[in-house]
Amino acid sequence: MPKTKSEEKTRKDAGKTGKKSKKPEKDSAAKSLVKAAKLPPKPKKATKSKGAITNDEIALRAYFIAERRTKMGWHGDSTSDWVEAEKQLRNEAGR
């Protein structure tokens, strides 16, 4: 940070004429090494988008539906439990 007005004016004038302040340049060999050493892309984190329902969630809900169905003595099968679980989860995701 400039301490005097003359230093401040010199800085402003340098900015107007397009002069750049001198900064140490990085070694070009180091830049080429960095470019040459391509790292594999980072794996994407498993994110759950809004409304996306996984098969594990459906299976868990279908399990509880089947448990209730057998406890109550209702007729049905695993396919109908799966369809009902998927329907319930889609309705809940829509809210």
Q: Give residue-wise pLDDT tens across range 25-49.
A: 556 666 666 566 665 666 665 555 6
Instruction: Check: CB of residue 49 under 8 Å from CB of residue 86.
Output: no
Give, in order, the Cα–Cα distances in Å from 84 to each of 53, 76, 95.
14, 11, 17
Q: Which amino acid, 49?
A: S
Residues 6+ apart with CB under 8 A from 69: 76, 81
Residues in the chain, pLDDT under 50: none
Q: Given this model, what pLDDT does residue 94 score? A: 86
CA dihedral 43, 47, 49, 52 (to 10 degrees): 100
Q: How far apart are CA 14 and CA 3, in angstroms?
A: 16
Q: Give the start-to-end residue ranges of the domains of the chain.
A: 55-94
* pTM for the structure as a whole: 0.47
Instruction: Check: CB of residue 85 under 8 Å from CB of residue 69.
Output: no
